[in-house]
Chain A
Amino acid sequence: MVIMESALFTRSVMMKLKNGSSRVAGVAVVVPSANPPQGFSPHNKCPNENSGVYSESYGPTLAHCNTTVWNPLGNGLSYEEFDFPIFSLKDDNDTQLIKQCYVDHNRPVNGSDPQYPLCAMQLFSHMSAVTNTATCMRRNTNGFTFSPESICEPLGDHNIWAPAKPLNTTQKGHKAGESMVMATARLDSRSFFSEIGPGAESAASGLITLLAAAHALRNATQEAQLSRTIFYTFFHGETFDYIGSSRMVYDMEKNQFPIDLDNVHSVLEIGQVGLFSSSKVWLHTDPVSRRNGSVEEEVKKLVSNLQTAAKGLNVSVEEPGVTQPLPPSSLQRFLRARPFPGVVIQDYSSSFANMYYQSMFDNADSLKMSYPPNLTPEEQLNYVTDTAKSLAELATMVARALFVQAGGEESQVSAIKADELLVSRMLYSFVIASNNSWIQELVSSESAAQLINETANFYISVERQTSLPTVLVQHLLANLTGSTANVTQEDCKNQRENQDDKESKHLYSYSWVQGAAPPNSTERKGFCVRSTVHGTKALSPAFELEDYNSKDYSTWTESNWKQIKGRIFLVASHDLEMLTLGLGIAVLLTSLLLTYVMSSKADILFSTGREPTSATY
């Protein structure tokens, strides 16, 4: 059993433990309160290498991060197989207790072996599934087995999307005359350890920017008659080989989605936008599809829209060299289907600025969110940090560019402005604590139970669990782009304006949220939010097709597990254990002997003095 400081939690050390001796039964890593300055990423150097667009048949020179390594700090630990459990420990009293136990009992004194009793530790984390997805999915469905419990479950959740104007969502397939500008962000992240997936920069920064932009565009898109519709989309499971985007593209191709690929005009994706040192963002485009004349023209328009939008704002935009491929992004899955004009906004040019990509350190500190000391949680919620200010600037730029891209007048863009306080509150909710007064007002009472007082976990998890970020984004997007509908709670839950209304449910979705409690009252006054926000399954098409060895789609599953726990205790010396065992066996033998003697001499022992009753036979 190894307990190590997180500075030692590196690839070389872990691989030594894995391959060295089979005597390692488990590892516990003590997580420090401060982030390591040298950076740490347990993800690959080339994230989603084999599921993006670049391959031998599409830009072979750009495939497999040939031109640039996106995540140079990645050590790939998340994708190694370990035969022993690896736990993370917070640096608190319990951990001190474990350390003390080691110091008291196990530390060698003067070079001699430590004396019994020794301190021992046991970690439990039993995983049911083995080998690969094909194996465990087969065993799940194998009708011949006794055990009803499943062995593994596919990763899945929901993509959240909302068109800026109402769209008939019941009717699937091509929508004649509709042209959509997709504005997308990703909804998930992960880390090496379960339950910890802060994803502050990997996911939260981008999706908050998009939410703020959507809010800034609410009035503008309703007032102006735009020739194209902005389609806000939040993809889930992108970390695991683009689960969400591959599913949406698949649904569009199969006419299982309210729009199809012909309706998509262009894609603007917001990636990691922590904006650390400078307020500079990079506009990434795909050099392969730009060889196509019409795509090139549209890409240029989109880029110039963004550049124009940045003028007068505290954001500068720049384009990396054209020989560079797209970074890991949902747009790649669209490009796999056909060439689309698209731009991905990132805060780096050729490798991640994020030093903690998809690790447990990708938290508020990594976003440089700092609050003045001694603020109450309520004050922190409403405090506008510098991070929030720069993200709001970026959101304004994105919103203005989207407006023009959708056919809006350049003259009207100055009215579009993202709200700094809103961005700050969203940052607080995703990265610090979702259980706050602001969020509580905006979510339904069922969702309120999911709110927590710590960082949201951006790990996608299995399909039957809806992750907290999905719930938050769904409610936030509804509140920020929708409007309050003056309907009863019952009508609201039945997706209608009134008793006779059968049409609205095709265009809108209604949700009854908790609302605020009026002064002098503890009872919340709920209200109904009417929006165009919908959620569709983000489950890899591989599971729809039952092709578990798919090369095109994500096939990640999560093993079912038994309770995860650990304990420490003292073990006695070998001699003492043997003595106890020997004594036990001796007692057993003596009692057996005694019983035998007693039963064989029963007539002598028990029949004296009294006439046996059996004598009458």
Chain B
Amino acid sequence: MDARVNPGHDHMKAKRMSDIATLEAEILKGIAAASDEAALEAVRVSSLGKKGSVSELLATLGKMTPDERKAKGPLINGLKDKVNTAINARRDALKNSALDARLATESVDVTLPVRDSAAETGRIHPVSQVIDELTAIFADMGFAVAEGPDIETDDYNFTKLNFPEGHPAREMHDTFYFNPREDGSRLLLRTHTSPVQVRTMLKQKPPIRVIIPGRTYRSDSDQTHTPMFHQVEGLVIDKGSHLGHLKWILEEFCKAFFEVDQVKMRFRPSFFPFTEPSMEVDIQCRREKGEIRFGEGEDWLEILGCGMVHPNLLRNCGLDPDEYQGFAWGMGIDRIAMLKYGMPDLRPFFEADVRWLSHYGFRPLDFPTLAGGLSA
């Protein structure tokens, strides 16, 4: 049938098969020996390229009898697959080792220090932080924040607040004055935040609920006094607020501010020209090695003054004391900051020593909230 069939056929077949094996071994050896992508590509071209050894073998398949093809086809195709796989594997390996080699050259000294986060080095002054705390607490009780100018008139700072001319209570204030104006009147630096009570009542109809934080000034300077300091006042005016409410608010405030479950307070009758009745408030605490603990102990520490708004003040602000009533309280922001956060001295508050500010200041992202805890 097939003229080409001859006695040497089996021999040739055996030879071809051994040729395939040899070829495979040669090619795989070449692949393994390829040390870079270019060498590998050369091996690929010489085997799987158009004129490559494996491609040529594949080309012989077309001329084969079905039987031959059946016998040899898998062998030749198998060779092609093996070579392909080997080349791909070798390529991956080469890529990986090249990457590893590159990475090896890229190593750095990771122990080198980096820049500190600016948000970690910046600081908020304790006074600002405490004002934010006060705002959070009182906003929750329905209080707005009112402010006024530092330079005040005698009328707003004293007279309207029921400080009679020449009264010793005026002298207790160690007032900074400006030079007299043409009309003889003298402006002054407010000695307390109370003039803002007047400004608020003159501007706004009751009901009024405000806190008034701000800078205040007295010409006094020693270990425990600075010529400038900070106060916060509270003012409530409506038609029914009384001392009982004031007591409750201040207790709630102290618990929230000092972050204690219980606080014991002592209200003592006292005197302020702009409140009647007037009281000073002590808070119970324990002092130990310079630390103050609230809600425990046997010591009393004075923290604020308060009282019912004086009828004369209401009248001076155009409110009828038989119709309107209310209360006010005031305290030192610097002082309550010292009590809460344990600064031993007042003076460094205003000395801008970055060592002090870094130690006692607050990180900018530590914003006081009721939800997160005031000093969390």
- Whether chains A and B associate is no
